[in-house]
Chain A
Amino acid sequence: MRKITILLAFLLMAGLQFANAQTRTISGKVTSSEDGKGIPGVTIVVKGTAVGTVTDLDGNYSLEIEPSYKVLVFQFVGMKTVEITIGNQSTINVAMQQDVLQVDEVVVTAIGIPRAQKALGYTVQDVGADQLQKSGSSEVISALDGRVSGVEINASSGAANAAQRITIRGATSIIGNNQPLFVVDGVPINNNVTRDADGFQTGDVAGVARANRALDIPAEDIESVSVLKGGSASALYGIRGANGVIVITTKKGKKGQGKMVNLNFSSSVQWAKISQTPALNTHYGQGWNHEWASGFFASWGPKLSESGWVKDSDWENSPYKGFDVDGDMVAKGSDRWNSAVSNGVASDVSPYDQFDFFQTGVTYNNTLSLTGGTDKANFYASVSDVQDKGVVPNNNFRRNAYKFSGSTKLGKRWKVSGNGVYIINKANRIQQGSNTSGVMLGLLRTPSSFNNAAGYIFPDGTQRNYRHGGGYDNPYWTANKNAWVDDVNHLIGNLQFDWYPTKWLHIMYRPGIDWSSEQVKSWIAVHSRTSPAGRVFARNTVTRDINQDLIAYGNWDLGENWNLNALLGFNQNERFWQYVYGQANGLSIPDFYALSNSSNVLTGNIASMQRLMGVYFDIGFNFKKMLYVDVTGRNDWSTTLPEQNNSFFYPSFNASWIISELPGLKDSKALPYWKIYANYGITANVPSPYNTLTYYGQAGISDGWVSPLGVNFPISTNGVSYNGFTLSNQVGDNELKPEKTKTFEVGTNIKFVSNRLGLDLSYYNNKSEDLLLPVSIAPSTGFSSMFINAATMTSKGIEATLYATIIEHKNFKWDVTVNYTSFNNVVQSLAENVDNVFLGGFTDPQIRAVVGESYPTIYGYDWLRDDNGNIIIDDDPNSPGYGYPTGDYTLVPLGRVTPTYIIGASTSFSFFGVNVYTLWDFRGGNKMWNGTLGALNYFGASANTEYRDDASYVFEGVKASDGSPNDINVADQGDPDWAQNWATSGEGSGFTGPTVTYIQDVNWIRMKELTVSYSFNELLKDSFVDNLEIYFTGRNLFLSTPYTGIDPNTSLLGSGNAQGMDYFNMPGTKTYMLGLRFAF
């Protein structure tokens, strides 16, 4: 409470100093010295104050000033800052010079206050609208990929509108959210994947690829994105800033010149194809022991080249005639074959390409925006429509967004503005992953001799698949019969009231809301493998985040050389979500999907509420615009902590020194700019709600095989209804305190050779302590976990951005930018007796946080190895394992999931209006579990298993008895089906053999983007057209990786912390886009 009192006193003081002074208007035009055209969006600030304005679309501005205002400062991205003494002038026109290397770049930092890049003692990297547009992405996260150092972005699935994970400088939390806070126009928004209750949970190995809510923000409406990386940068955002902050500034209104309204139109069409696919066995058919078997689960059957289809009377009378449309497979030369040949009912076998299932995806993206205004008021309005037809049939997505933002001045000291975007998403998603109804699971396991496309349904409604209706769903069945339809309504909006009571004080109140409603209806048709009796699930979720900030910001010149700025803020934040669901199991009427269509309906509702209140300050000094020092502090109160621990304070400090401002170095051509900076800060985070007590819950009893089915209360049996509750497996803790991350960073920004070459370098060292996590405990305690403060984790890394203008000529320009990221995120300790924590996965493998290892780590089984790490081969001739390696069934770490390096390298050539831009992505040092390959080896369905008839097969390793290199040939031990036995019941099986066999390197070189654009602006210089541009963008056109599955930019468990698993994930895509931008 004391801090609130101070704030009040501050506000009252501010009021008392209010003075009604004489004002006048000053106006003018800001042009580019290069072409004389007006520059829109130039920031004009009265030096030493927070008073200012922005130029309109044609570069015009007007500003009301008071006699005490002496100097105007003109700032614009890419231009050199200009300072003009006002004197008696009423018109001030300025020609700004291009500053290729953007020394005086203005970035939007905490709370939406723009500050000169050079004043910052921490790292902020900006991505402008032009860069976002080049990506061709309709959402913001993947558009950032490769463009910012220190950032790792992972797609989860090639499905339409699938979640994207973003992390900045690794992780700070073990099980909590590690993704940065998204802030839109100063208001934090919710970036969660909507919670589930039907067992197909986020982070579950099965289900559909879901979206995270930040994907809803249309990329076309974004003016710029600032990535705040360090803890010091984000301290003012409070607890959710611990993982960095993505500050999104959307487009705002601008005054038009000559016309009241300017119109922008952009349109694109994109075609998508699946990219890398796993290699499949096309030489052997369905069956076992080299024999064909109709309906059999695996592809250990006969060689296709030695077999043929027969449609004789045997086949005509077979109950499987409908399943095997090609006939019965028999050996060529057999009696049946010969007689079939003579009767004309024999044919050759050629393998089917199962990937024919996928189609060419098409995405249409259209955006129309209008902007305009007067001196007093302006607006920006846009409508956009994205229609995405995925590569999987019936996987589609549509997003319509309507945005309005407006601003008006009320008198001289008040300004009111508002922003709102309303988004409507509709999607149909398809089952994927470890799921008997998953598309890739059924598709890849199908033997190449079976034609899935020859029909997926029989007239009686039962399913046609390669296992006589059992096993897994035919992918066509999954895509056509099962569905997951979601409908999202999403509003992000804020109001902002700005008040300038004196020339040095600015008070701002900004309430904001992020509200979304998601309605899901999903169904599994009768005769589907996941739920043969059918299932309907419906759920409505409402998420509402409310945030308000009240900020007082002052700026004072203290004598000639010193400047002081101070900010005092008050924040309230409330996050609420609630869902209501119903699930009907066992459908009375097939193909009718409503909750009424079952005698068995489960319903439920879950809600969550948490609140936070914070008071914060930021005080900065600078000396001669050369030395900057900044101190911040924040005290928060959170409802999710026990009452006695719910208040906590965390400070930060940062300093920067612009060495090139030293008298001796000033105006040097060779080294025009050199800054060094350092910062230290603490960020805090709080537990999720309801972890301070131990609760009971309604019981849902299942096992790992049939989940979510089992005994789900309420139930009715023998005519009696029962409800059932059970004590939670997690014991609460009434001693919880916030987790804290200490961050330290040093860095430098250098520009050489007349600003044509630049290097930004930073090093950071973060340590997170008292991390909150549910620590697994021995179940014999009666609980399986306890939620406590325990773990410690560190993250160290280096980031570098190198940029160069290699050629600069009037009509020809070549720029290169390289972003380099390298970090190591290590779990230092977890809890007493606990050296690892489960994050997600199967019994084996799992993704875990492991003490002493990089976070997160793949955990699984290895082969028995000697002291030198060689695999030991059993060389006892009497042993059944003679010639084979042996598994070591203790779970061990098998590799890090996060890359050791990420490089995003782009080059841009411009000549005569044509621009060619390429962005390359290099990553490596990390591993992924190719569980798909493991399973396909078991099924004999991978190309790997075509070695089965090789005359010689010697496992790599050393002999157990003497350590000499293994030379035992297992293929000539007299068992013709040795490979099948090894891959199915032996340790070569992906299901039970050592996991390490399927841990693969994920290094990649990827041509992330290629954009060729042409601008007609030179030709249309004197017409009514302001901008006309056409472009082609290709994404993921080239990929080189040792990973043998699908595009390894994937994650079975979606955008959660447990990355690094691929198990029948949807393949990635490569896309080709044609687009047009038009403005008049």
Chain B
Amino acid sequence: MKHKILMKLGLFVLLLGIVSSCNWINPDVNISPNSPSEVPMNLLLPSLEARTAFTIVGSSDYTRVVSMWIQHTTGIARQSQIEGAYIYRAGDVDNMWSAMYAGALMDAKQIILKAQADATKSPHFEGVAKILQAVLLGYGTDIWNDIPWSEALLGKENLTPAFDSQESIYAQIQSLLDDGISLCKQPDEANIFQLDGDIIYGGDVNMWIEAAWAMKARYALHLANRNGNGAYTDALTDAGKAFKSNDGNMFYYYSASSDNNANPLYLFMQDRGDIRMCSTLIDSLQHHADPRLSVFALPTSGDIIVGTDTIPAGSFYGAPPGEPITNASAPGPGIASADAPTQLITYAELEFIKAESNAALGNFGPARDNYKAALKASLEQYGVYDETWFTAYSGAIDQIPDAMLMKAIMTEKWISLTYRTESFTDWRRTGYPILSPNPAAATQEIPRRFPYAQSSITYNPNTPDLGAAPLYKRVWWDNGTPTK
């Protein structure tokens, strides 16, 4: 009898177990507890801005590489030494390509979709996201020429987006900026959610409007070799509506105290440290006793023997391209401190845009004024404005013959925009500053673009084939027409 009771008890327990397990396979078990499937706009904007700044505009994959080509810096060891000798391959740009499309542009699209939806209608968010999309496309097309846009960001709906021509991308940039401006101009009351989570301008839409005009000016100017004087007049008009001082600078801010939000060049120097400032830039700064020398460069860390001379530690010394001088000046605090901001566009650049446009249009007087204003803005931006030096230098600017003015403006712009990709664009457009290739490079020619990302070549058959020497294929606006 005992066994029967035990048996029945056993069966009951088993039955109970089985019945209770009917809800065991519940679809809710497979909903991630770690990741949300919906996120509000004010939490997407910070990462959109940070990614734009850290992985595109100020990135170690982009800015660091072109800074070596444009001879702001030079590579002294490992990968940097090789990249500085013009070896840069499809796989090397995967990070940046992916950060741009599968990161920043896609997050901007999510903001736009939410900002357009009736329940969460917020034109300011939409405007800011569109301005940032325009900026991203600008940085992308200037280094890659034709890039996907009209068929991009559609997920599984289009696995092989077509590559739009640079000409149409430029049209898109201007149109997105125009949209951004008109959306940002809408009254606060039209927004269900007010602009929030904005690291760049702290939620001030007027600043975004002025920045959008500045960007419009920059991208109008880029097409000077294609559009001629129209480009310069457009640039002047747009620049006139942009911000009027360093207060309007479009900066992404890092924090001094944290490696969790630190300048990419700072982190690169901490971890890798394989670049130094280039002699081309340092010699030029030293030649003019430019107060920005200690902004862009650190004193040398040890003695350097050059031929029979010894340059003592604590001096400023730029390493000539291709020479791996460990003790040469490392990047300085203005560009490589933990909290040195990523500069998307500055007032100095705006004045240089005006100076170049006026000089090209033959308005040499205003061009000189713009030139001085630009230099002053740059000195002030870095907190090293020195009245005496500036006055003397302004006097020298007045002495520059008109025929030489463009070269002087562009060379000065190259100094002021140290460690900025814009200098690479300017050099390609105008040929200034005049540079000799790195003598250690196998190919004695400075590259003019990036290869397409390996991920695009591999997974999208529409990726244009750049042939055997992709770095020397010119982008559409880089058509070799000399600047006036």
A640 to B45, CA, bound (A): 32
Given A602-B260, A778-B455, A833-B461, A701 and B55 touching (CB < 8 A)? yes
B435 interfacial by beta-carbon distance below 8 Å: no
B156 interfacial by beta-carbon distance below 8 Å: yes
Beta-carbon nearest neighbor of A294 in chain B: B302
Q: Are B155 and A780 in contact (CB under 8 A)?
A: no
Contact residues of B between 256 and 276, Cβ < 8 Å to A: 257-262, 264, 267-268, 270-273
Q: In angstroms, how far is the closest chain A Cβ from the Cβ of B415?
A: 26
Q: Are B259 and A693 in contact (CB under 8 A)?
A: no
CB-defined contacts of A727 to chain B, threshold 8 Å: 106-107, 110
Given A692-B30, A723-B43, A833-B461, A780 and B3 touching (CB < 8 A)? no
Contact residues of A between 1 and 50, Cβ < 8 Å to B: 1, 4, 7-8, 11-12, 15, 18, 20
CB-defined contacts of A471 to chain B, threshold 8 Å: 273
B47 interfacial by beta-carbon distance below 8 Å: yes
Given A717-B261, A780-B101, A786-B156, A609 and B29 touching (CB < 8 A)? yes
B44 interfacial by beta-carbon distance below 8 Å: yes
Q: Are A611 and B161 in contact (CB under 8 A)?
A: no
Given A709-B267, A726-B103, A779-B453, A470 and B273 touching (CB < 8 A)? yes
A643 interfacial by beta-carbon distance below 8 Å: yes
B388 interfacial by beta-carbon distance below 8 Å: no
Q: In angstroms, how far is the closest chain A Cβ from the Cβ of B312?
A: 10
CB-defined contacts of A468 to chain B, threshold 8 Å: 301-302, 326
Which of A73-81, A745-753, A795-803, A981-989 makes up part of the contact surface? A981-989
A160 interfacial by beta-carbon distance below 8 Å: no
Which of A148-156, A527-535, A1020-1028 makes up part of the contact surface? A527-535
Among B3, B34, B106, the residue within 8 A (CB) of A20 is B3
A607 to B44, CA, bound (A): 23
Q: Are B261 and A712 in contact (CB under 8 A)?
A: yes
Q: Are A782 and B29 in contact (CB under 8 A)?
A: no
A550 interfacial by beta-carbon distance below 8 Å: yes
Q: Are B271 and A529 in contact (CB under 8 A)?
A: yes
Beta-carbon nearest neighbor of A880 in chain B: B442
Q: Are B92 and A843 in contact (CB under 8 A)?
A: yes
Q: In angstroms, how far is the closest chain A Cβ from the Cβ of B326?
A: 6
Q: Are A585 and B32 in contact (CB under 8 A)?
A: no
Contact residues of A between 556 and 590, Cβ < 8 Å to B: 570, 572, 585-586
Which of B7-15, B210-218, B232-240, B362-370 makes up part of the contact surface? B7-15
Q: Are A726 and B54 in contact (CB under 8 A)?
A: no
Given A690-B35, A705-B271, A833 and B160 touching (CB < 8 A)? yes
B50 interfacial by beta-carbon distance below 8 Å: yes
CB-defined contacts of B259 to chain A, threshold 8 Å: 531, 533, 535, 585-586, 600, 709
Q: Are B39 and A696 in contact (CB under 8 A)?
A: yes
CB-defined contacts of B90 to chain A, threshold 8 Å: 889
Q: Are B24 and A611 in contact (CB under 8 A)?
A: yes
Q: Are A729 and B102 in contact (CB under 8 A)?
A: yes
CB-defined contacts of B6 to chain A, threshold 8 Å: 414
CB-defined contacts of A711 to chain B, threshold 8 Å: 47, 50-51, 53-54, 254, 260-261
CB-defined contacts of A572 to chain B, threshold 8 Å: 21, 24
Q: Are B30 and A689 in contact (CB under 8 A)?
A: yes
Among B36, B261, B302, B440, the residue within 8 A (CB) of A716 is B261
Given A606-B34, A611-B25, A731-B155, A710 and B54 touching (CB < 8 A)? yes
B248 interfacial by beta-carbon distance below 8 Å: no
A715 to B7, CA, bound (A): 62
B117 interfacial by beta-carbon distance below 8 Å: no
CB-defined contacts of B255 to chain A, threshold 8 Å: 715-717
B18 interfacial by beta-carbon distance below 8 Å: yes
Q: Are A703 and B260 in contact (CB under 8 A)?
A: no
A649 interfacial by beta-carbon distance below 8 Å: no
A93 interfacial by beta-carbon distance below 8 Å: no
Q: In angstroms, how far is the closest chain A Cβ from the Cβ of B429?
A: 26
Given A414-B6, A784-B455, A779 and B102 touching (CB < 8 A)? yes
B4 interfacial by beta-carbon distance below 8 Å: yes
Q: In angstroms, how far is the closest chain B Cβ from the Cβ of A1056?
A: 21
Q: Are B264 and A320 in contact (CB under 8 A)?
A: no
Binary contact track A722-753/B, C-beta < 8 Å → 1, others 0: 11111111010000000000000000000000
Given A8-B15, A985-B82, A706 and B268 touching (CB < 8 A)? yes
Beta-carbon nearest neighbor of A780 in chain B: B148
Q: Are A779 and B301 in contact (CB under 8 A)?
A: no
A642 to B45, CA, bound (A): 32
Q: In angstroms, how far is the closest chain B Cβ from the Cβ of A38?
A: 33
A697 interfacial by beta-carbon distance below 8 Å: yes
Q: Are B102 and A725 in contact (CB under 8 A)?
A: no
Binary contact track A530-542/B, C-beta < 8 Å → 1, others 0: 1111010000000
CB-defined contacts of A728 to chain B, threshold 8 Å: 35
Among B8, B29, B260, the residue within 8 A (CB) of A610 is B29
A682 to B392, CA, bound (A): 85
Among A11, A288, A608, A880, the residue within 8 A (CB) of B324 is A288
CB-defined contacts of A296 to chain B, threshold 8 Å: 324, 326
Among B37, B77, B458, the residue within 8 A (CB) of A836 is B458
Among B87, B96, B109, the residue within 8 A (CB) of A992 is B87
CB-defined contacts of A690 to chain B, threshold 8 Å: 30-32, 34-35
Binary contact track B198-212/A, C-beta < 8 Å → 1, others 0: 010010000000000
Q: Are B159 and A781 in contact (CB under 8 A)?
A: yes
CB-defined contacts of B103 to chain A, threshold 8 Å: 701, 726, 729
B95 interfacial by beta-carbon distance below 8 Å: yes
Contact residues of A between 911 and 939, Cβ < 8 Å to B: 938
Binary contact track A256-283/B, C-beta < 8 Å → 1, others 0: 0000000000000000000000000000
Contact residues of A between 970 and 1007, Cβ < 8 Å to B: 981, 984-986, 989, 991-992
Q: Are A701 and B262 in contact (CB under 8 A)?
A: no
Among A411, A725, A781, the residue within 8 A (CB) of B36 is A725
CB-defined contacts of A778 to chain B, threshold 8 Å: 148, 159-161, 455-456, 459-460, 463
Q: In angstroms, how far is the closest chain A Cβ from the Cβ of B117?
A: 16
Q: Are B160 and A703 in contact (CB under 8 A)?
A: no
Q: Are A844 and B105 in contact (CB under 8 A)?
A: no
A539 to B360, CA, bound (A): 61
Binary contact track B152-167/A, C-beta < 8 Å → 1, others 0: 1111101111000000
Q: In angstroms, how far is the closest chain B Cβ from the Cβ of A718?
A: 5
Q: In angstroms, how far is the closest chain A Cβ from the Cβ of B258?
A: 4
CB-defined contacts of A726 to chain B, threshold 8 Å: 44, 47-48, 51, 103, 107
B295 interfacial by beta-carbon distance below 8 Å: no
Contact residues of B between 21 and 67, Cβ < 8 Å to A: 21-22, 24-27, 29-39, 43-48, 50-51, 53-55, 59-61
A293 to B76, CA, bound (A): 14
A776 interfacial by beta-carbon distance below 8 Å: yes
A501 interfacial by beta-carbon distance below 8 Å: yes
Beta-carbon nearest neighbor of B107 in chain A: A726
A731 to B264, CA, bound (A): 29
Beta-carbon nearest neighbor of A499 in chain B: B10
Beta-carbon nearest neighbor of B4 in chain A: A18
| Known interface pairs A15-B7, A550-B14; 10 further A-B residue pairs with C-beta atoms within 8 A, sorted by A's residue number | A297-B78, A699-B50, A711-B50, A713-B46, A715-B50, A716-B258, A716-B261, A726-B48, A726-B103, A727-B110
28 residue pairs of the A-B complex, CB under 8 angstroms, read: A20-B3, A297-B77, A499-B7, A499-B10, A530-B271, A586-B258, A586-B259, A599-B258, A612-B25, A613-B25, A689-B29, A693-B31, A699-B51, A703-B264, A706-B60, A709-B259, A709-B262, A716-B255, A716-B261, A722-B46, A723-B46, A727-B110, A729-B102, A731-B156, A781-B152, A781-B156, A781-B158, A881-B442
Chain A: residues with CB nearer than 8 A to chain B?
1, 4, 7-8, 11-12, 15, 18, 20, 288, 293-298, 319-320, 411, 413-414, 436, 467-468, 470-471, 497, 499, 501, 509, 529-533, 535, 548, 550, 570, 572, 585-586, 599-600, 602, 605-613, 637-643, 646, 689-690, 692-697, 699, 701-706, 709-713, 715-718, 720, 722-729, 731, 776-784, 786, 832-834, 836, 843-844, 880-881, 889, 891, 938, 981, 984-986, 989, 991-992
